[in-house]
A and B are shown apart, each in its own frame.
Chain A
Amino acid sequence: MRKILEVKDLVTRFYTFDGVVHALSGVSFDLYKGETLGIVGESGSGKSVTMMSLLHLLPSPPAKIENGQALYYGDADDKPDTNNKPDADNKPIDLLKLNKSGIRKIRGGKIGFIFQDALSALNPVMTIGRQIGETLIEHLGMSVQQAKTRTIEMLEYVGIPEPQRRFSSYPHQFSGGMRQRTMIALAIACNPKIIIADEPTTALDVTVQAQIIELVQRLKKEMNMSVIWITHDLGVVAGMADRVVVMYAGAPVEIAPVDELYYNPGHPYTIKLLGALPKIGEKESLRLESIDGTPPDLLSPPAHCQFAWRCSHVQEKCWKIVPEQKEISSGHYAACLFDFADKTPIPPLM
């Protein structure tokens, strides 16, 4: 599989009156063509900040991207003659180095973004039709009439009933699920290569959530897109992702194919997180494994493993260095000093 996005060592900090918030401390991951990458983590772990950094959506100040690269390889497809050559020959675009007009071409055009709260992401005083049409005119240079036809097509495509009539509705006239469908129509209108969905179903009910997940999965296949799905729900990720990145305190602690992550987790945090979930269909109520303590304060993150406070495998060396990502099996990375070389199963946690 071919890489479409490669994020290397991304560091983002917020300069606030209280001090420097180390929101991201070295985030690296790859996104391959046609895959769904799930990003899970608790609130404050840096899931959203990562994506917003890539697309220059963070207000600056206070945010500052201090280091890192985000290489976008998507344009290789547009030039058929370069298709056979290795990645190095197609000049990737570093999203972080783009200027304002450069990133505008990517945002909405090449990379679509679905936000969590559709009501505040959509413009309340603009009809649905105009909002979607605007992107088409801006990115694809369509005429107003072309944009209208295409918008109605898009609305129908994402399953909004009576698209002709809905074209001139306002966001408040839609239900939560329909608004999220509109957001999706907006994100995919320009045939993007990547869709970034930032907790798109968190505010929705489970039955609507199932519909939205189904829709995104279908669109992904039909339009041959890559999807980054940010969520805190490990259940959602299990069903739809190909690979999963688990984030904790501003850095990925584990990156693994989905089955590997759930059945053979490599980082103590992931193990505990999976244990903290109630099991559907369990015979009797077993006690949930809880993770004691709270995530570290990112105003003054410790200069050692961020999880050491809460980890039950903690060893002396964990208090001295920040662990780097190690490949523990093919395609499975974990940032932990725990010795994965011996294949003995990790003892049950206290």
Chain B
Amino acid sequence: MKTETATNQIIGKTESKNLVTVKNLKKYFPFSKGFFLNRKRGAVKAVDDVSFNIRRGETLGVVGESGCGKSTTGRAILHLERPTSGKVIIDGVDLTQLNPEELRQMRPQIQMIFQDSYASLNPRHSIGHIIAEPMMIHKNMQQDAMRSRVMELLELVGLNPNHYNRFPHEFSGGQRQRINIARALSLNPKFVVCDEPISALDVSIQAQVINLFQDLQKELNLTYLFIAHDLSMVQHISNRVAVMYLGKVMELTTRDNLFNTPLHPYTQALMSAIPIPDPVKERQRTRIFLNEDVPSPANPPQGCVFSTRCPIAEPICSQRAPEYKAIEPDHFVVCHKVDKKRGEI
């Protein structure tokens, strides 16, 4: 019964502007100490109160340094990790309310591409089998139909369909990532989470895969959540970008705003640190150096999480957490001082 209502919800829902809505998403990993009592001593706040929308057909980039919770956000949205609290609404269905079977039925629409292209392919299966497996599980298809669909997918991602019977180790890193993409697309998903899909690849191969992502998006009307630490690539592929720090979104805006007029001091520091492949520009730049290291997410600073490293921090920053506010349409910033700075710009 419940399944039916879920399906009805999908069909009945009129096309809204947002495909994905994430509200107050939290994912805490509790840790315990002590051998006997195994008491809960606290939790690593990997994702802490994250909210955003992803519009149909757009790419939302998520950037941040390692440990900022960008991958966990992606995994929590797809319920690969059950969120601690919060809502994830994909195409009108709230995933957090679904039972495992209902969730399984949602899976064809939501797919993920992982960073390590080798580890995410079963080395003992041929790539034909790997790409067909989602269809075996979710669809009742004839062998022949499945085979021709796999060939079609291989062609789509730029691989030779005759390599159907080869094994993952016979392919290079870039080709393996293409296999991953083909598998993710085999069930015609609406929404794909790409978790650092290109960071293990060489520059010349990165460009190939990025172009493939963009072509597929146009062709199949996909919506991406694109997680990466390479800011220049994110800027290239995204429509909007969320900057994360210690489990929180610090700034969320369109890619032009982010790269031309970043408002949050963390974003500004991050932008100033990206190396630009242009010697003259590079010499003229002034870098903002952040002191110290990122604090532990198990024990984040009081008030604003960035206050310990912020170059313009004031006493209020370490007392009260700033709110998530819209400075202008499509430009959200979490900072006490941005209103003041806005006047200067």
Chain B residues lying within 8 Å of A276, measured Cβ to Cβ, are 203-204, 206-207
B345 within 8 A of A: no
Additional 9 contacts, C-beta under 8 A, given A235-B274, A273-B203, A291-B208: A232-B202, A277-B232, A277-B277, A278-B232, A280-B232, A281-B259, A285-B214, A285-B236, A290-B204
Chain B residues lying within 8 Å of A239, measured Cβ to Cβ, are 275-276, 279, 282-283, 285
- In the assembled complex, the Cα of A177 lies from the Cα of B273 at a distance in Å of 15
Task: Check B277 against A235 for contact (C-beta < 8 Å).
Answer: yes
- In the assembled complex, the Cα of A292 lies from the Cα of B260 at a distance in Å of 32
Task: Check A210 against B273 for contact (C-beta < 8 Å).
Answer: yes
- Residue numbers of B with Cβ under 8 A of A are 65-66, 172, 174, 202-208, 210-211, 214, 229, 231-233, 235-237, 256, 259-260, 269-270, 272-280, 282-283, 285, 287, 289-290, 293
Residue from B65, B207, B287 whose CB has the most chain A CB atoms within 10 Å: B207
Chain A residues lying within 8 Å of B277, measured Cβ to Cβ, are 234-235, 237-238, 262, 274, 277
Shortest Cβ gap from B257 to chain A (Å): 12
Complex A-B: 20 CB contacts under 8 Å: A43-B202, A175-B293, A177-B293, A206-B273, A207-B65, A207-B290, A214-B287, A234-B277, A235-B282, A238-B275, A238-B279, A259-B280, A275-B207, A276-B203, A278-B210, A280-B232, A280-B235, A282-B236, A290-B204, A290-B208
Shortest Cβ gap from A271 to chain B (Å): 12
Task: Check B279 against A258 for contact (C-beta < 8 Å).
Answer: yes
- In the assembled complex, the Cα of A276 lies from the Cα of B65 at a distance in Å of 23
- In the assembled complex, the Cα of A275 lies from the Cα of B207 at a distance in Å of 9
Task: Check B174 against A294 for contact (C-beta < 8 Å).
Answer: yes
Task: Check A210 against B287 for contact (C-beta < 8 Å).
Answer: yes
Task: Check B207 against A290 for contact (C-beta < 8 Å).
Answer: yes
- In the assembled complex, the Cα of A279 lies from the Cα of B282 at a distance in Å of 13
- In the assembled complex, the Cα of A180 lies from the Cα of B210 at a distance in Å of 31
Chain B residues lying within 8 Å of A209, measured Cβ to Cβ, are 273, 275
Chain B residues lying within 8 Å of A43, measured Cβ to Cβ, are 202
Task: Check B236 against A42 for contact (C-beta < 8 Å).
Answer: no
Chain A residues lying within 8 Å of B205, measured Cβ to Cβ, are 294
Task: Check B270 against A281 for contact (C-beta < 8 Å).
Answer: no
Instruction: Convert A163-201 into 0s and 1s, putting 1 for each residue whose CB lies closer than 8 angstroms to a CB of B.
Output: 000000000000101100000000000000000000000
A6 within 8 A of B: no
A233 within 8 A of B: yes
Contacts of A32-48 to chain B: CB distance below 8 A = 42-43
Shortest Cβ gap from A26 to chain B (Å): 22
Chain B residues lying within 8 Å of A178, measured Cβ to Cβ, are 293
- In the assembled complex, the Cα of A236 lies from the Cα of B280 at a distance in Å of 13
Tell me whether A288 and B289 are in contact in the complex, defined as CB-CB below 8 angstroms, given that A210-B273, A235-B276, A236-B275 are known contacts. Answer: no
Shortest Cβ gap from B121 to chain A (Å): 18
Task: Check B280 against A272 for contact (C-beta < 8 Å).
Answer: no
Task: Check B232 against A290 for contact (C-beta < 8 Å).
Answer: no
Chain B residues lying within 8 Å of A238, measured Cβ to Cβ, are 275-279, 282
Task: Check A206 against B203 for contact (C-beta < 8 Å).
Answer: no
Task: Check A281 against B260 for contact (C-beta < 8 Å).
Answer: yes
Task: Check B207 against A205 for contact (C-beta < 8 Å).
Answer: no
Contacts of A290-330 to chain B: CB distance below 8 A = 290-292, 294
Residue from A263, A274, A279 whose CB has the most chain B CB atoms within 10 Å: A279
Chain B residues lying within 8 Å of A272, measured Cβ to Cβ, are 204
**Which of A208, A234, A282 has a CB less than 8 Å from the CB of B203?**
A234
Chain B residues lying within 8 Å of A146, measured Cβ to Cβ, are none
Chain B residues lying within 8 Å of A16, measured Cβ to Cβ, are none
A287 within 8 A of B: yes
Task: Check B210 against A288 for contact (C-beta < 8 Å).
Answer: yes
Shortest Cβ-Cβ A-B pairs, 5 listed: A235-B275, A278-B236, A276-B207, A205-B65, A291-B204
Using CB atoms, name the residue of chain A closest to B269: A207
Task: Check B275 against A42 for contact (C-beta < 8 Å).
Answer: no
**Which of A214, A280, A287 has a CB less than 8 Å from the CB of B276?**
A280
Chain A residues lying within 8 Å of B280, measured Cβ to Cβ, are 259
Chain A residues lying within 8 Å of B206, measured Cβ to Cβ, are 276
Chain A residues lying within 8 Å of B237, measured Cβ to Cβ, are 285
Tell me whether A291 and B207 are in contact in the complex, defined as CB-CB below 8 angstroms, given that A175-B293, A285-B214 are known contacts. Answer: yes
Task: Check A232 against B275 for contact (C-beta < 8 Å).
Answer: no
Tell me whether A206 and B229 are in contact in the complex, defined as CB-CB below 8 angstroms, given that A272-B204, A280-B235 are known contacts. Answer: yes
Shortest Cβ gap from A230 to chain B (Å): 14
Chain B residues lying within 8 Å of A290, measured Cβ to Cβ, are 204, 207-208, 211
Chain B residues lying within 8 Å of A233, measured Cβ to Cβ, are 275
A83 within 8 A of B: no
Shortest Cβ gap from A116 to chain B (Å): 14
Task: Check B211 against A287 for contact (C-beta < 8 Å).
Answer: yes
Task: Check B274 against A42 for contact (C-beta < 8 Å).
Answer: no
Task: Check B203 against A232 for contact (C-beta < 8 Å).
Answer: yes
A289 within 8 A of B: yes
Instruction: Convert A58-90 into 0s and 1s, putting 1 for each residue whose CB lies closer than 8 angstroms to a CB of B.
Output: 000000000000000000000000000000000
Chain A residues lying within 8 Å of B283, measured Cβ to Cβ, are 239
- In the assembled complex, the Cα of A314 lies from the Cα of B172 at a distance in Å of 24
